[in-house]
């Protein structure tokens, strides 16, 4: 039923800019995971509501979520992206250039957690979409690098329903541990929403 609801909502979602739609087609054709338009629009909305300008992404891929952040922040945005694959950096900047995005982009090639440990926060938003086994370690690092009232947004908290199964692999257990840890951390007020594959939104108190 939940998948049917998601497909319905995606059908209802307004058409995106041409380059953004191109990114969605590329992801589908190459079986590359992206947050998709439902989460993308939410990221856009949160950026507008919080008037966020300084944004950090942990695990940026070829720039899909950064595109949505930039659309909302426009020329005032400073978006720092991270990913281990240098090819994704070139791909992302090609999309950004062709779309005429106005934000300032920095793409750090390497381990996102290592970058976060020495990041120049505080940030307005930290978006977390790295290897799931590393999720639990991000909580304290995000708390140190967010401004008061900033948002720590994390993707894949439902993990295709695997978090509900009794037999869990390493990544699934890490997501469950992360979810419990984030809910129990007094530095955040957290809500997990069943958008697409589950989205945690935690406000830095």
Which strands sit side by side in the sheet containing 199-204, from one edge to the other? Answer: 104-109, 78-83, 54-58, 123-128, 146-155, 199-204, 188-193
- pLDDT-based confidence at 4, cuts 50/70/90? confident
pLDDT at 3 over 90: no
Decide: helix, strand or coil at residue 59: coil
Decide: helix, strand or coil at residue 19: helix
What are the backbone angles phi and psi of residue 59, rounded to the nearest 5°?
90, 85
Q: What is the pLDDT of residues 155-203, one digit of tens each?
A: 999 999 999 999 999 999 999 999 999 999 999 999 999 999 999 999 9
Q: What is the pLDDT of residues 35-88, one digit of tens each?
A: 999 999 999 999 999 999 999 999 999 999 999 999 999 999 999 999 999 999
- pLDDT-based confidence at 7, cuts 50/70/90? confident
pTM over 0.75: yes
What is the rounded distance in angstroms from the CA atom of residue 103 to the CA atom of residue 6?
A: 30
Q: How many CA atoms lie within 13 A of 12 on its CB side?
A: 7
Question: Would you list the DSSP string of 98-111?
Answer: HHT--SEEEEEES-
What is the rounded distance in angstroms from the CA atom of residue 35 to the CA atom of residue 56?
A: 16
Decide: helix, strand or coil at residue 22: helix
Strand 78-83 and strand 104-109: the pairing is parallel
What is the rounded distance in angstroms from the CA atom of residue 51 to the CA atom of residue 129?
A: 22
Q: Which two tokens stand for residue 50?
A: 């919080």
pLDDT at residue 6, rounded to an integer: 83
Q: What is the pLDDT of residues 129-164, one digit of tens each?
A: 999 999 999 999 999 999 999 999 999 999 999 999
Count of other CB atoms within 10 angstroms of residue 31: 6
What are the backbone angles phi and psi of residue 22, rounded to the nearest 5°?
-60, -40
Domains, the chain, ordered by start:
2-204 (3.40.50.150)
């Amino acid at each position: 039923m939940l998948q049917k609801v998601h497909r319905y909502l995606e059908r209802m979602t307004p058409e995106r800019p041409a380059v953004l739609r191109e990114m969605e087609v590329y992801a589908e054709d190459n079986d590359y995971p992206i947050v998709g338009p439902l989460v993308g629009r939410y990221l856009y909305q949160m950026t507008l509501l919080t008037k966020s300008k300084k944004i950090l992404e942990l695990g940026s891929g070829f720039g899909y979520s950064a595109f949505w952040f930039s659309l909302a922040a426009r020329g005032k945005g400073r978006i720092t992206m991270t990913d281990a694959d240098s090819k994704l950096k070139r791909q992302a900047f090609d999309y950004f250039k062709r779309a005429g995005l106005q934000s300032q982009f920095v793409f750090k090639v390497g381990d996102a957690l290592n970058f976060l440990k020495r990041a120049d926060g505080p940030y307005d938003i930290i978006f977390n979409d790295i290897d799931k086994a590393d999720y639990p370690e991000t909580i304290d690092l995000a708390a140190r690098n967010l401004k008061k009232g900033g948002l720590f947004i994390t993707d894949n908290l439902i993990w295709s329903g695997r978090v509900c199964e009794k037999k869990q692999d390493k990544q699934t257990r890490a997501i469950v541990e992360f979810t419990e840890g984030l809910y129990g951390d007094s530095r955040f007020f957290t809500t997990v929403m069943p958008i697409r594959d589950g989205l945690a939104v935690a406000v830095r108190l």
